[in-house]
Chains A and B, each alone.
Chain A
Amino acid sequence: MQPLRIALAQVAPRLGDLEANLARHHELLGEARAGQAGLVVFPELGLTGYQLQDLAAEVAMRLDDPRLSRLAAATVGLSAVVSFVEESGDHRLFIAAALLEDGEVRHVHRKVYLPTYGLFDERRFFSPGDVLRAVPSRLGVGVGLAVCEDFWHVSTPQVLALDGAQILINVSSSPGRDLATSSEVGLGTASSWRTLMRTYAQLTTSFVVFCNRVGVDESISFWGGSEVIGPGGGAVFSAPMFDEGLFIGEVDLADVRRERIALPLLRDERPELVSREWRRLIAERAGLAPDTTAEEGAEDGLDVAAEPGPGRPIGFGGVAGSTGPGATDSEPARPERARPGPARPERAKARPKMGAA
């Protein structure tokens, strides 16, 4: 297998300025080609900027948008991942990442997890995607796309790897925060991401390509630090933090085979087991089956009992006059569960004992 040169386009998009960002993408595609890159990765919303709010609808593109086609046309003999606001036929807006190859839009991933907490407000403006799919690519291996928060959910890289991806590509607009000196690289966010990327690469025995933007939108500064991690969990090359530019490194895709032969984690995955347990969890969370971790007396679909049982405290930390376990702050608040409860005996019997296998 030929060595693959990967270009990380660590850009600082102009907020809401699609034309300027398109021009920068074309420019860097040219630069990457000149640098013999086979894969070019741009960050999340690299074509629009991140903190769009009501601008999202104004910069949205349909997949048949000629501006997107022209960008795809610039990828003959090249693979590129670009990200933008996609408007669907029924006018939902998605944070999309597209794999462009040989002049075509080969695959579109719609961000599945939209953070709407803390400094994030994505679900207000965007619709979540519903599909996680690895795709074959001209690189000769499967590719899996994910956008930023998608990788804060451990199932995302796992599903993509099991689906055949050997290169997991995460495009991000990660706002830098927490300057505490206890952090490995002086920025809490960066330390967290570095840990995640290495862990995922090792656990999926795949390459992980992380492209994070730089620059400033409103209050938020983006920290860059894009990286390529090898299937053994070590960084192959890293772009600097905060610097704008195109950073090219080389990987040997045969490392995936070597790692997977030596460490056959994917072979040993148990998707049927995971799927079975997830189906059970889904039923329990929907109230369609008794919840095995609910408080005694809780109705199906709820994990807290409305009425306290005899001899147990109300809520965590206890109340005055309560004598049960958890009545003081120093004791665990969760009472011993008296099993089997009335709603559960069949389930408890049906379950094999721990370690009995």
Chain B
Amino acid sequence: MTRPATATGADGTPLFELPPELAIDTDVARRVIAEFIRGQLRQAGFERAVVGLSGGIDSALVAYLVAEAIGPERLRCILMPAGSSAPASRADAETVVDAIGCASEVVEIGPLIDGFFGVGETAGASGPEGLAASPLRRGNFAARMRMAVLYDRSVTWGGLVVGTGNKTEALIGYTTLFGDSACAFNPIGDLYKSQLRQVAAAIGVPEVVIRKAPSADLWPGQTDEGEAGFTYPELDRLLFWRIDKRRSVEEVVALGFDPAFVARVDRMIATSEFKRQVPPIAKLGPRTAGVDYLYPRRRPGSARG
């Protein structure tokens, strides 16, 4: 029951480059994810979901998966462009919304960012120095403003916020803590970029969204791969062998990976460990959450009434 590993677009060319060891059975993936989404919502006492839609493949795929699991009428997509966002991003997000047939709204977050960092010569809440804030500070702030908007809409729409971060970016720490990584649950967080592309192709995410270069869209022309200096297929392959298959540095070098590339990625993984974990609590009492008070997140009585 092996699935075709590569998908092709309308013109017959491959939609993306797929390293063979990262090929997955997309039917099983969709089945498991649909059960996961339904289970998370039911156990929390919710029937609806909120997804922040950027126009990129990750959030588009999550929107499709949620719609497949619970129906488009129970999904609300929030588009949150900032002044720096590419116009094509919004257009692509709208294409996704139209294709799914779900509710959506646009929340401009430019004013939130400008209100803090200031605009032109006018200082914002951050004070005069905020006018010179780096793109990184602005990008992180924007990610956290989007998180704040999503959690507000979680209340008004009555739905859980669904995470859209993938395994590749989580492992190298290419996320904003309490920003884009914040969510009630994440259906694609254990899929590498090369793997979620297969699911996206199978579920029908528009070709233009699958084909375009991944980008955090924090400034014009930014791409993940341009910023990092390596491509997703090679990064995914390395992560797969290092993490999932427990290969040592020496072993992956023997597989043909450049030692400098391996060292750099290893360092990115180690320095971002904190982003993947709940913050530690100083152990003082007899029973401490996460240490020796260990309950499932969802249990009898925990669902919203």
Contacts and interface: CB of A to CB of B under 8 A. Distances in A.
B271 to A, nearest CB: 24
A277 to B, nearest CB: 32
A185 B1 CA distance: 6
Interface residues of B, number: 28
A17 B301 CA distance: 9
Contact of B39 (A180, A182, A216, A241): A216
Contacts of B31: 241-242
A193 to B, nearest CB: 14
A186 B300 contact: no
Contact of A53 (B3, B5, B21, B295): B295
A164 interface: no
Interface string B18-45: 0001011101110110011011100100
A52 B293 CA distance: 12
Contact of A218 (B2, B23, B296): B296
A208 interface: no
B283 interface: no
Contacts of B25: 179-181, 183, 186-187
Given A181-B3, A215-B39, A52 B296 contact: yes
Contacts of B295: 53-55
Interface string B276-305: 000000000000000001111111100000
A16 B296 contact: yes
A156 interface: no
A221 B36 contact: yes
A176 interface: yes
Contact of A242 (B1, B5, B35, B195): B35
A15 B28 contact: no
Contact of A216 (B2, B23, B24, B36): B36
Contacts of B35: 214-216, 221, 242
Contact of B297 (A214, A218, A241): A218
B121 to A, nearest CB: 50
Nearest to B250: A329
Nearest to B293: A54
Contacts of B2: 181-182, 186
B296 A53 contact: yes
Interface in A22-70: 51-55
Contact of B24 (A52, A55, A181, A218): A181
Contacts of B298: 15, 218
Given A179-B32, A216-B36, 8 more contacts: A14-B300, A15-B300, A52-B296, A176-B32, A179-B24, A179-B29, A185-B1, A216-B40
Interface of A: 14-17, 51-55, 176, 179-187, 214-218, 221, 223, 241-242
7 contacts: A55-B299, A176-B32, A179-B24, A179-B25, A182-B23, A186-B28, A221-B35
